[in-house]
Chain A
């Protein structure tokens, strides 16, 4: 079975500072990895995903995540955050091949202070 660990429940940062949200997974088979974002009082929406190919994936709003197979990690980074990035971020893992219900982490609350 797959599992996902988001190591930080809350990450406070100041505007324009860099941020890293950590995600580690465990799996005995090849995986697909996702980051979803939940803005206040909204549902989750896809931020970015790794399926194959380049291990560095980017979102349209400046976030990036790197798949590291040896460390079983998929950390999310942004070099300079904005107030509008304040949200809950969920890492998720799914299995490649066949049908599989994705497993979500418990979420990391990113709080950006002015």
Chain B
């Protein structure tokens, strides 16, 4: 199994540009989520999905869109990039949302918005 994969690893955008961060998992996990990691702020939940066709907002959803058309893929779209979105983005998945389930994280995408 490849686990959770994310592309690209690095990205530089100009203010106002849009882009999609890709996330895929091959473990047949129901639950997938996106976090951003900023210094001193820990992990903040952006959006999550409990299955294909079902998504919901997390703690910091503004400026981001998601969709879940398949179990495997959960892309994160930046609609109009802003410098405040400079961050490291992690995708995570787990078998279900049962409390005992381990979260599996991707390697991250480091995004810089100029």
Contact = CB atoms under 8 A, between A and B. Distances in A.
B34 to A, nearest CB: 12
Interface size class of A (residues with CB under 8 A): 20 to 34
Contacts, number: 61
B90 A44 contact: yes
Contacts of A100: 97, 99
Interface in A30-71: 31-32, 34, 36, 41-46, 49, 51
A106 interface: yes
B103 A102 contact: yes
Contacts of A107: 42-43
Given A43-B107, A99-B98, A106-B42, 8 more contacts: A36-B105, A44-B103, A45-B105, A92-B103, A94-B100, A100-B97, A101-B45, A104-B42
